[in-house]
A and B are shown apart, each in its own frame.
Chain A
Amino acid sequence: MSEDQSNNIDNPRPGPGGINRRDLLKGLMTVPLLGVFSYGWYRKQKNDQFYKNAITEEVKLDGVNPVLYRKVPKDKLIRIGIIGTGGRGLSLLKGAGFLSPNTLVKYINAANKNNQDKRYVEFMEQEDLNLRITGVCDVFDINAQKGISAGANIYREGLNGKMGEAPKRYKNYRDLIAASDVDAVIIATPDHWHGPMIIEAARAGKHVYVEKPMTWTIPETYEVVKAVKDNNIVFQLGHQNRQTESYFKAREAVKNNVLGKISLIEVTTNRNSPEGAWVYKIHEEANSQNIDWEQFIGPAPWNGFSLERFFRWRCWWDYSTGLSGDLFTHDYDAMNQILELGIPHSAVASGGIYFYKDGRTVPDVLQMAFEYPEREFTLLYSASLASSKNRGRTIMGHDAWLDLENNLKIYADPESTRFKEKIEKGLISPEIPIYSYKPGFKHVDAVTSPTEEYYASRGLLYTYLDGKRLDPTHLHIKDWLNCIRGGGQPSCNIDQGFQEAMTAHMGTVAYKENRRVYWDNEKQIIV
């Protein structure tokens, strides 16, 4: 047979003439393999579908962020005054649609250097909210200038581009609030100024968007609530996590009881850099001439001029609310959004200044446990500013736990009652998430592939609409403006602000006084 002429590649056919039986046989020899392939494909599809159905009938989450879909006419121009144009204030201006020409050029250059850098494109694509920045107030001249430069750049152009009218610089925040061409105020000052400014703005009938935490002291918290409610202003607390898509899914998962009985919620902060521990750079040109120190101090105890205290104010109780107010509030509000926690029944705390011996008074390691006896669970916060180990946020239920970052994963508990049968049958594996939500993927799939998994962790600061990346801060400001123009309550309103502030204060009091503190729900006071 090996001498068979048909094995000759140059002339496989013995001679000219029509196709004979041997040609057909050899020509079609591999065709049946396609049948084998199709059968294998069919079996595999059926198998995958079977497993997928077993999971999707347990977990089906459709929650979406309503802010993405609310349409409010924007024809009414809103005039904004901003108090505090440091790092966060400028980010808020960017979310509102204003970047200084300098920063824009920086973004353009970055995009030219690295085409993965999407900041320029995203900013240019960001919706125009029909705003004007009419007033800027900052006690540091250089920061104020940056705010003015951003506010004037209404055409979103680079250096030497066309600019709009420059916002007016106010030396004192009171004058900005009182100005007749300011309809609404954004507050991004140190913590100790939040309360007094909200109260002043509310009394002047100006709508308020304020950075977290809502207040610095307990007494002023009540005044803030009263001023906001009495004057009927639209109030938004700056927890932009409220706009993150995955939190809406998490909320639905809890509502649908996917997790079973929840007993423990753990949230954490881990940072390990001077910046992360609030040791910010001191501006080279800053001095007592271009900083209005007296106004900076305001309600805080008097201290002589200090650049350190001015730029690193978060390190001192004199101006800050420490880990509890500054970072825990993010986690608290996220969990409040998902679980409707409200104010806890009690709080204990421990920690200390264990790493940063730089004269700070706020702890760099902090643990706080909040009890919710009526709900029968504990909210635990644990933070270190001197280790990067990422511990995430987890809601632990008897049937499943939910891991929450920007992406969301739900794992069935191996000892779950609800999933017991399916786990035993091998339909659900405790090692693979039964639900996984990855922003940016239009399709939400219960069964994850490693590829998608790896990308999920990338876009932490973003939320997505139809695959388009959106800045949650932008959406949070838009939500506030929607309510100013079209009525309704913003997603982090004064009631949630009150809960956030009181919970954070309880933790701080528990730490400072080294005792268990309680919330008297009847009298609405911390005892």
Chain B
Amino acid sequence: MKYTNTQLVWLVALRVFIGWHFLYEGVVKLANPNWSSVGYLMDSQGFMSSFFYSLATNPTALGVVDFLNVWGLIAVGLGLILGAFTQLSTISGIILLTLYYLSHPPFVGLKYLLPMEGSYLLVNKNLIELAALAVLWLFPTGKIIGLDRLIFSLKIKNRKF
């Protein structure tokens, strides 16, 4: 599979933008010593809500969730921006977004305490970002523009010699 330059530019741009978004969300949480996912989890609605409540109400689980969330977001963000382990980062990003989507699905009749910045019906920005990542997974760019180009060439080299 070969990209034209224009295709490549926009695929990389999409990758970097999504990476930027992840990184910022992670860094903001890291910078706030009082941040915790407890409020977000407790605001969960829909068919998965009891699972998210159980995470929020178990201190150990909550600690793990908080840690994975902050560092997961940062790692995915860095991975996407730098094009390092791009496919792994993309899949991890999809998993995180799936969890966000399922904890706060924009289904008819569900009301959230947390304010949302738009109006959604079934499709919200989490889902769109998730789909965009799926596209990036199918049209990877890390090995062309990104650290993966170096990482994987080293790997190839090591294998050869």
Give A residues with C-beta under 8 Å from B. 1-2, 6-10, 12-13, 16, 18-19, 23-24, 26-31, 33-34, 37, 41, 45, 115-116, 441-443, 445, 450-452, 454-455
Query: Do A34 and B81 contact each other (CB < 8 Å), given the known contacts A9-B144, A27-B150, A115-B50?
Result: yes
Is the pair B4, A7 in contact by a Cβ cutoff of 8 Å? yes
**A30 touches which of B5, B81, B150 (Cβ 8 Å):** B81
Which of the candidate stretches B26-34, B91-99, B125-133 sits at the interface with the other chain? B26-34
Of A9, A27, A450, most B-chain CB atoms within 10 Å? A27
Give B residues with C-beta under 8 Å from A. 1-5, 8, 12, 16, 20, 23-24, 27, 31, 33-34, 39-40, 42, 50, 53-54, 57, 78, 81-83, 113-115, 139-141, 143-150, 153-154, 156-157, 160
Q: A438 CA to B23 CA in the complex, in Å?
A: 29
Q: Which residues of A contact B144 (CB under 8 A)?
A: 6-9, 12, 26
Query: Do A18 and B1 contact each other (CB < 8 Å), given the known contacts A9-B144, A26-B145, A450-B115?
Result: no
- 23 A-B residue pairs with CB within 8 Å: A1-B5, A2-B4, A7-B5, A8-B1, A8-B144, A9-B140, A9-B141, A12-B143, A12-B144, A12-B149, A13-B153, A18-B157, A19-B154, A23-B153, A27-B150, A28-B150, A30-B81, A41-B27, A45-B31, A115-B54, A116-B53, A445-B34, A450-B115
CB distance from B23 to the nearest CB of A (A): 6
Q: Which residues of A contact B156 (CB under 8 A)?
A: 16
In the A-B complex, list the 7 residue pairs whose CB atoms are closest, starting with the nearest: A443-B34, A27-B150, A27-B149, A8-B2, A2-B4, A7-B3, A12-B144
CB distance from B118 to the nearest CB of A (A): 14
Of A12, A30, A451, most B-chain CB atoms within 10 Å? A30
Is the pair B149, A443 in contact by a Cβ cutoff of 8 Å? no
Given A26-B146, A116-B42, A451-B39, output 11 extra A-B contacts at Cβ < 8 Å.
Answer: A9-B143, A9-B144, A19-B153, A26-B144, A27-B146, A27-B147, A27-B148, A41-B27, A115-B54, A445-B34, A450-B114
**A26 touches which of B5, B20, B149 (Cβ 8 Å):** B149
Query: Do A443 and B150 contact each other (CB < 8 Å), given the known contacts A7-B2, A12-B144?
Result: no
Nearest B-chain residue to A453, judged by Cβ: B115
Q: A6 CA to B81 CA in the complex, in Å?
A: 19
Q: Which residues of A contact B139 (CB under 8 A)?
A: 9
Q: Which residues of A contact B1 (CB under 8 A)?
A: 8-10
Q: Which residues of B contact A28 (CB under 8 A)?
A: 147, 150
Q: A1 CA to B146 CA in the complex, in Å?
A: 19
CB distance from B103 to the nearest CB of A (A): 14
Q: Which residues of B contact A450 (CB under 8 A)?
A: 114-115
CB distance from B153 to the nearest CB of A (A): 6
Q: Which residues of B contact A26 (CB under 8 A)?
A: 144-146, 149
Of B8, B54, B153, B156, most A-chain CB atoms within 10 Å? B153
Q: Which residues of B contact A45 (CB under 8 A)?
A: 31
Of A10, A24, A116, A451, most B-chain CB atoms within 10 Å? A451
Is the pair A443, B53 in contact by a Cβ cutoff of 8 Å? no
Query: Do A7 and B115 contact each other (CB < 8 Å), given the known contacts A12-B143, A12-B149, A23-B150?
Result: no
Is the pair B16, A30 in contact by a Cβ cutoff of 8 Å? yes
Nearest B-chain residue to A16, judged by Cβ: B160
Q: A445 CA to B32 CA in the complex, in Å?
A: 11
CB distance from B51 to the nearest CB of A (A): 11
CB distance from B6 to the nearest CB of A (A): 8
Is the pair A115, B53 in contact by a Cβ cutoff of 8 Å? yes
CB distance from B5 to the nearest CB of A (A): 5
Query: Do A30 and B82 contact each other (CB < 8 Å), given the known contacts A41-B27, A450-B115, A455-B113?
Result: yes
Is the pair A7, B8 in contact by a Cβ cutoff of 8 Å? yes
Q: Which residues of B contact A10 (CB under 8 A)?
A: 1
Q: Which residues of A contact B27 (CB under 8 A)?
A: 41
